Amino acid sequence: MMVNGFVYLRGLFNRLRWEEDGLALTEYLILLGLLTAVVVIAVITFGENLGLGWQAWADWLTGLNAPPALPT
């Protein structure tokens, strides 16, 4: 069973490697993986600081006085 899976994966890899459509698909998958990794790293790196910044801005907004009432 494991040998059949290995043979299937090897054949799939060879098709993706040598066929033109497979090459394009492989390039898009690599690009998608890189973009996903960049987004995950950015969220992990800047997530806490961004949350603190948004909270500070929200606190500042709630501390503002209400606008004056319009005369009627």
Question: How far is Cα 4 from Cα 60, in angstroms, rounded to an integer?
Answer: 63
pLDDT at 56 over 60: yes
Backbone angles phi, psi at 13, to 5 degrees: -60, -45
Please tell me whether the overall predicted TM-score, pTM, comes out greater than 0.85 for this model.
no
pLDDT per residue over 28-53, tens digit each? 889 999 999 999 998 888 887 888 88
pLDDT at 16: 67
C-alpha torsion 60→62→64→68, nearest 10: 160
pLDDT per residue over 4-34, tens digit each? 778 888 887 777 666 666 667 888 889 999 9
- Say if residues 16 and 25 touch (Cβ distance below 8 Å): yes
